[in-house]
Structure formats: structure tokens, C-alpha cells
């Protein structure tokens, strides 16, 4: 893949243009106007903060990993500033790079990562582990206060050899491998991870583990944390190796300590993951239900009683309408997407169809499923185009038990609508059920409205309000986006002070100087 844009998503050559129907919808329904939105600042006009690294630090760093692997140019620093949330992009587009690191280090091995962490601990330099740069929760914007400087630890060179155990069906994957690179290596042996989050093209193996990533096909393949058999982690105190067997009763499972730790306890340098044979057959289908409630009942029946497809995704009435508008076709009711991968899932397809029909579902034209598949990785590019047009667009996700799904869906939608309308920017709020479990499901919301004069403050206010609603309605502050800095306060409320204190104690043991991603996860 091409290098990620510094103030947008993905490859600049893949930028998208808004369909006319979407532009009309934005103007007529939401009052969006590009005239109120300043053009993005050119990279050359961004004022980077002065670097503050200790004298001689970069020389010592160069001696440890090579002089060509330490960068401090404006392009290096700008390209490693923040992640890709809408708030991140809005700040970058107006030339605010206050969170830029002072330098970038590119180690190529586990031992080199250890060496960098040792130097940073000694000189009290904060370290931000940087994989694909796709965080949407402030996971790459550390707290600088109290540190001598900030170093971005770019893991792109940590690609190492890939070892595949064809008998156990596991593979050892270096943390810096992107999703496509990992799949290409596994395909040489006839295997796949089956992990396809929306960040797939740029996200990395280490990032998937550090954030508990969940791919679109999690119903069939599992979340990424469920695929992890073992981890190797570099910490300021040394190396931690976890996972000697698929399951063990040898104390608490320490893999779970680092899965979701977001670079605050150590730097994941390799992952041993469960793999599966590349599927010989793949099917995708679209179904239509009259109401969201009907669709929920059908999906719950599938995941609790079977048979299960490899993927099932339910859009509510609003999202179904918006997607149809984007694709230039009529729509009504709620759309369900299902997919079947491998021979066993395909054999179960008729059983899945029977459950969907029994729940009131009707099959849609084949083109509907193909349209969805083609646009799977285009949504972030569409967001850039919407920002250019003067719209504010952002996503958030949560999860709860089945009995609480309807109330959570309604509460989040109503809160976002109310908060943004009170600011004079009434929104469109869409939702889909993105991941299913026997006991519950994840809800993924997308919000579109006109940008206010200060769109960062606009979204910050709405997000704070909806986080409170999620917690009081029984949801989790995040299902798969991670915590970062944006959800740190919500995490503290969700897990409580005692549990947060235990995590802080672990961090103090592994990272005595507190250099690893300060301010992220634990606040």
C-alpha cells in the first residue's frame, strides 16, 4: 500500500468524489455547506513544535539501530502525528500538529526495540508504538508533560520471517506486518487469518493484538484476540513471552494482559496466531427485513441456535436508506448481509436461509451484496470527501447483551440527535449490528451533520454525552476501536478504581519510568 496521507485516510490516489445524490442530501436535509469549511492547510505551512529531545539522544539511538533508521524531518514527524479519528483529521487539516513526536525510530528486531526502550527509560523520553497509524480513539497522542521528549516507535521494519506450523495450524507473525502482507505470506502455505477490519489495508499484526481488533468475519473466524496463541513483548524491564500451549491452567492468562494494552505495558513484537485453510468457496448474500427488531431476532436465532454464517451484519432503517442512496437504488426496511466461507459454511447456507425466511427476511438482488463488498474499504475515503464538503462525520461503537440491545440502540441514537441538534446541527444517525455472540452483539453508529464553527468542540461535546449514556444504559465504552485517550475516562468508570489501580501497578512494574504511551488507556 502507498504511504498513508498525513491529513486524511489512505492512498491519495484513491480519493473519492461524493455522488451527486449524497451532495444533495447533505445540503437539503442537513444544511451542509462547503463555504463554511476552510480548505486543508498544506503540509509546508504546518508549524511543528520545537523538538525537545535531550542532547546526544538521537546519536545514541542511531548507534543502537542504525543512523538511517532515526528520522526527525518535518515529513517524518508530521507522518507520525496522531491517528485517523475525525477529530485527529480536523486538527491536522487546520495545521494543528501540537502532538507531533520529536523524532521517529525504526527498529528492525525485538532486540532493537529493547534497546530503544532502554535508552528512552534512561533519558525519560516518552515512546509511542506506531503500527499502521489507524487509531480512531487518540491512541497515538501521548501526554508529553513531564517527559524530555516524545519518540514515535515505527514498527514498519519489524516484518521478520513468518513461521507456519501446518500441523498445529498456527503461524508466528512479526508485529509490523500489515494485514495484506500477512495474508500474502500465509497464502503461500494455503492459510489465512480471516481477519478483515476496515483498517485491514494499513493496520498491523501488532496493532490488531494491542487493540483487540475485531474483523468483519469475526462470527466465523473470531476476534483477533481469540486467534492469538502466544505473544512476544518488549518492555523497559526486558522480554515477556506468553502462551506455551493453546490453553493452560498455569495461573492467569498473561496474554490477556497485553491484548488490548495499546502499547502502555510493552511493545508487541511478534504474535503466534491460529490460522485456517484458505476457503475454496465464498458466498455473499443480502436480505431485507421489514424492521430492525425483526432483523435482530433473526440474527440472534442464528448465533444462539445455528446454523451460523461466517458473517452476519444488520443495518437499521436509516443506514439501509443511506447505503441505498450511495448505491443509486431504492431501499426500504433493514438490510442484512451474510457471508459463507469454506465448504462447511457453504453447506450450512440453506439452513441459514431458512432461519432468515422464518424471521420474515426476503432475499435481495445479488448486486446488493456485491455493492457492499466492493465498497468495504472505501468508507474512510468517503469520510474525507464529506469533510471537504463541510460535513462532520464520525463513528462510535459499543456492545451489550441481547436483552439490552434495543434500548442501547435507541438511547445512543436519541442522545446524538439531541446533543447535535442543540448545537444547531441536526444529524443523520445510522447504525448496524457489526459483531454477534451467543450472549449479545456490537452496535456501530455513524453520525453525519453540518460542521459547526468549531467542529472539534462540537464532536467532543456530543461524544462526552453519548459515552455517559452508553455506560448508564449497560453498554461498554468500546467493542473494538480501543480506548486510547478518548475513552480513558469512560474505561475508568466502566472497570472501577480498584481494577484501574491494579493495571497501574502492573505498568509501574513493567515500565517504571512510565515512558510507554503515557496518557493512553489509563489516563
Q: How far apart are CA 130 and CA 117, in angstroms?
A: 14
* pLDDT above 90 (res 342): no
**Percent of all residues in the chain with a pLDDT value above 70, rounded to a whole number:** 100
Per-residue DSSP letter, 168: T
Domain 163-277 belongs to what topology? Answer: 3.30.465
Q: Nearest Cα to 407, choosing from 440, 448, 372? A: 440
The domain 379-486 having CATH identifier 1.10.357.10: the answer here is no
Q: pTM score > 0.85 for this model? A: yes
Name the CATH topology of 282-374: Alpha-Beta Plaits (3.30.70)
Q: How many residues does the chain have?
A: 523
E strand or H helix at 440 = strand 440-450
Percent of the chain's residues with pLDDT above 90: 88
Measured CA to CA, the distance from residue 46 to residue 75 in angstroms comes to 11
Average confidence (pLDDT) over 114-132: 98
CA dist., res. 92 & res. 210, Å (int): 25
> Mean pLDDT across the stretch 504-518?
98
Question: Which residues make Cβ contacts (< 8 Å) with residue 407, sequence separation at least 6?
Answer: 473, 474
First-residue to last-residue Cα distance in the chain: 33
Residues 6+ apart with CB under 8 A from 88: 82, 136, 138, 141
Q: What is the pLDDT of residue 18?
A: 86
From residue 261, alpha-carbon distances to 497, 507, 509, 518 in Å are: 17, 10, 14, 12
pLDDT at 377: 86
Domain residue limits, the chain = 163-277, 282-374, 379-486
The pLDDT of residue 174? 98
The pLDDT score that the predictor gives to residue 1 is: 65
How large is the angle between the packed helices 405-422 and 455-472, nearest 10 degrees?
Answer: 150
C-alpha cell at 61: 539511538
Strand order from edge to edge, sheet including 163-165: 163-165, 170-174, 267-274, 228-235, 238-242
What mean pLDDT is predicted for residues 57-86? 97
Q: Is the pLDDT of residue 37 over 90?
A: no
pLDDT digit string (tens) for 161-174? 999 999 999 999 99
Q: What is the pLDDT of residues 408-448, one digit of tens each?
A: 999 999 999 999 999 999 999 999 999 999 999 999 999 99
Where residue 22 falls among pLDDT bands split at 50, 70, 90?
confident
Is 379's pLDDT higher than 70?
Answer: yes
Q: Classify 128 as helix, strand or coil.
A: strand
* Per-position b or e across 397-411, b if 16+ CB within 10 A of its CB: bbbbebebbeebbeb
* CA distances to 82, 113, 125, 485 from 157, in Å: 20, 11, 21, 26
Average pLDDT over residues 291-297: 98
pLDDT in the model for residue 460 = 97
Domain 379-486 in the same topology as domain 282-374: no
What pLDDT does 327 receive? 75
Query: Using an 8 Å Cβ cutoff, are 346 and 281 in contact?
Result: yes
* Cβ atoms within 10 Å, residue 44: 7
Average pLDDT, the chain: 95
Amino acid at each position: 500500500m502507498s504511504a498513508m496521507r498525513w491529513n486524511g485516510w489512505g492512498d491519495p490516489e484513491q480519493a473519492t468524489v461524493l455522488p451527486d445524490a449524497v451532495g444533495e442530501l447533505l445540503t437539503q436535509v442537513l444544511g451542509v455547506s462547503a463555504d463554511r469549511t476552510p480548505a486543508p492547510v498544506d503540509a509546508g505551512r504546518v508549524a511543528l513544535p520545537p523538538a525537545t529531545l535531550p542532547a546526544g539522544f538521537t546519536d545514541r539511538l542511531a548507534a543502537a539501530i542504525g543512523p538511517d533508521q532515526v528520522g526527525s524531518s518535518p515529513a517524518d514527524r508530521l507522518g507520525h502525528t496522531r491517528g485517523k479519528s475525525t477529530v485527529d483529521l480536523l486538527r491536522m487539516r487546520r495545521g494543528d500538529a501540537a502532538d507531533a513526536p520529536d523524532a521517529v525510530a525504526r527498529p528492525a528486531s525485538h532486540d532493537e526495540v529493547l534497546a530503544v526502550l532502554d535508552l528512552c527509560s534512561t533519558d525519560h523520553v516518552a515512546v509511542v508504538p506506531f503500527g499502521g497509524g489507524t487509531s480512531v480513539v487518540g491512541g497515538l497522542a501521548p501526554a508529553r508533560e513531564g517527559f524530555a521528549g516524545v519518540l514515535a516507535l515505527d514498527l514498519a521494519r519489524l516484518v521478520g520471517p513468518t513461521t507456519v506450523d501446518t500441523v498445529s495450524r498456527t503461524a508466528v507473525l512479526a508485529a509490523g506486518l500489515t494485514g495484506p502482507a500477512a495474508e500474502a505470506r500465509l497464502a503461500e502455505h494455503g492459510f489465512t487469518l480471516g481477519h478483515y477490519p476496515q483498517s485491514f489495508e494499513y493496520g498491523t499484526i501488532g496493532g490488531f493484538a494491542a487493540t483487540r481488533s475485531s474483523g468483519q468475519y469475526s462470527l466465523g473466524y473470531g476476534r483477533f484476540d481469540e486467534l492469538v496463541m502466544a505473544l512476544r513483548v518488549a518492555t523497559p524491564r526486558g522480554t515477556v513471552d506468553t502462551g506455551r500451549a493453546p490453553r493452560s491452567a498455569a495461573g492467569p492468562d498473561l496474554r490477556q494482559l497485553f491484548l488490548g494494552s495499546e502499547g502502555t505495558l510493552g511493545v508487541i513484537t511478534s504474535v503466534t496466531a491460529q490460522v485456517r485453510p484458505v476457503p475454496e468457496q465464498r458466498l455473499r448474500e443480502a436480505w431485507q427485513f421489514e424492521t430492525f427488531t425483526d432483523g435482530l431476532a433473526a440474527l440472534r436465532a442464528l448465533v444462539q441456535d445455528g446454523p451460523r454464517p461466517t458473517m452476519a451484519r444488520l443495518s437499521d432503517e436509516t443506514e439501509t436508506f443511506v447505503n441505498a442512496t450511495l448505491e443509486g437504488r431504492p431501499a426500504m426496511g433493514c438490510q442484512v448481509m451474510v457471508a459463507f466461507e469454506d465448504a462447511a459454511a457453504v453447506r450450512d447456507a440453506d439452513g441459514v436461509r431458512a432461519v432468515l425466511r422464518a424471521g420474515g427476511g426476503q432475499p435481495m438482488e445479488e448486486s446488493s451484496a456485491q455493492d457492499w463488498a466492493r465498497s468495504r474499504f472505501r468508507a474512510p475515503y468517503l469520510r474525507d470527501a464529506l469533510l471537504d464538503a463541510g460535513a462532520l462525520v464520525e463513528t462510535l461503537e459499543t456492545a451489550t447483551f441481547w436483552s439490552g440491545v434495543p434500548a442501547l440502540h435507541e438511547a445512543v441514537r436519541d442522545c446524538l440527535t439531541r446533543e447535535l441538534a442543540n448545537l444547531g446541527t441536526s444529524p443523520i444517525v445510522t447504525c448496524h449490528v457489526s459483531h454477534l455472540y451467543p450472549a449479545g452483539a456490537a452496535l456501530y453508529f455513524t453520525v453525519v451533520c453540518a460542521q459547526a464553527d468549531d467542529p472539534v468542540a462540537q464532536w467532543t461535546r456530543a461524544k462526552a454525552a453519548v459515552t455517559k449514556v452508553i455506560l448508564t444504559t449497560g453498554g461498554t465504552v468500546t467493542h473494538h476501536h480501543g480506548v486510547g485517550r478518548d475513552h480513558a475516562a469512560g474505561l475508568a468508570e466502566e472497570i472501577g478504581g480498584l481494577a484501574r489501580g491494579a493495571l497501574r501497578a502492573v505498568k509501574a512494574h513493567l515500565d517504571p519510568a512510565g515512558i510507554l504511551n503515557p496518557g493512553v488507556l489509563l489516563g
